């Protein structure tokens, strides 16, 4: 049995369906069963919250591998990177270790204790806790999800100047790596970095999105001074300011998944817009 925490999200939903297509038994951990209705045809759904350690024991019954695709940057229920990506993942790791289950942890390329973005620090703390645990583990680090930012840019909004190169990866490619990390136990004890084939600025990504959709619209920039002003009040502006100012490039190279063919930007945008 594979338990997927964060299984109702953008990445988690893809992972659940890929594992189900491989004829694996999948269980989705969610705080709200209504959010998992789109997966009820392929997976068992169980209620639990990674922020509540005691709520995880029931979900762990019969589980051999835990996939953590949780994120606390945004979402309902007053979640935060500290409560979800750090402490929530610690609870999940401890529950998995107690159950004798492996853990596949979703993290971010560049995760570090000193990173200026809170979620990168929280993911790094979770990585360290996992590596110190008794659970067998694989860590999958990904760059920024292209589909997420295409959705934001589709509203005609660019954070900051939009001229800082960032690596964007298709969430479908990340899901493929996660699936492999689940089924191939030879990958235990490894950290796998996965990024996209291109480093693009927000302005460039917005232009490519307009090319794919055939819709031209004026792009509105939220200036850095405004992002700085509202950063103490909201996590997204704070994260956007960091993304507009630091090096977030990534050079794709052969990894533990050499057979993975990265999805190019235009193809990923076409898939994302057609799905919407």
- The verdict on residue 56 lying in a domain is yes
Alpha helices in the chain (DSSP H): 10-21, 87-99, 118-132, 146-153, 171-183, 202-213, 224-230, 235-243, 265-275
Q: Are 195 and 166 in contact (CB under 8 A)?
A: no
- The verdict on residue 235 lying in a domain is no
Check which CATH number belongs to the domain holding 180 and give it.
Answer: 3.40.50.720
- The verdict on residue 113 lying in a domain is yes
Domain enclosing residue 91, as ranges: 2-143+171-194+250-262
- The verdict on residue 162 lying in a domain is no
Q: How many domains does the chain have?
A: 1
- Per-residue pLDDT tens over the stretch 29-55: 999 899 899 998 999 999 999 999 999
How many angstroms separate the CA atoms of 82 and 215, rounded? Answer: 39
- State the pTM of this model: 0.93
Q: Are 69 and 12 in contact (CB under 8 A)?
A: yes
- The verdict on residue 73 lying in a domain is yes
- Per-residue pLDDT tens over the stretch 76-125: 667 899 999 999 999 999 999 999 999 999 999 999 999 999 999 999 99
């Amino acid at each position: 049995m594979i338990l997927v925490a964060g299984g109702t999200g953008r990445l988690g939903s893809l992972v659940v369906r890929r594992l189900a297509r491989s004829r694996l038994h999948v269980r989705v951990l969610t705080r709200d069963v209504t959010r998992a209705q789109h997966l009820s045809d392929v997976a068992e759904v169980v209620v639990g919250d990674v922020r509540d350690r005691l709520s995880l024991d029931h979900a762990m019954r019969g589980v051999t591998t835990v996939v953590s695709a949780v994120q606390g940057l945004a979402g309902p229920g007053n979640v935060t990177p500290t409560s979800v990506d750090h402490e929530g993942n610690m609870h999940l790791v401890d529950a998995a270790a107690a159950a004798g289950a492996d853990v596949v942890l979703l993290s971010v390329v560049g995760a570090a204790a000193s990173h200026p973005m809170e979620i990168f620090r929280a993911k790094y703390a979770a990585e360290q806790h996992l590596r110190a645990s008794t659970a067998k583990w694989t860590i999958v680090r990904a760059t920024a999800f292209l589909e997420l930012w295409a959705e934001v840019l589709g509203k005609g909004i660019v954070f900051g100047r939009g001229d800082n190169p960032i690596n964007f990866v298709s969430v479908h490619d990340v899901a493929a790596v996660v699936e492999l990390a689940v089924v191939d136990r030879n990958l235990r004890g490894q950290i796998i970095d996965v990024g996209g084939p291109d480093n693009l600025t927000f302005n460039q990504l917005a232009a490519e999105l307009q090319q794919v959709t055939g819709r031209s619209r004026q792009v509105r920039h939220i200036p850095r001074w405004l992002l700085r002003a509202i950063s103490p009040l909201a996590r997204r502006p704070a994260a956007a300011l960091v993304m507009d100012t630091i090096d977030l490039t990534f050079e794709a190279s052969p990894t533990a998944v050499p057979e993975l063919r990265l999805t190019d930007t235009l193809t990923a945008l076409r898939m994302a817009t057609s799905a919407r």
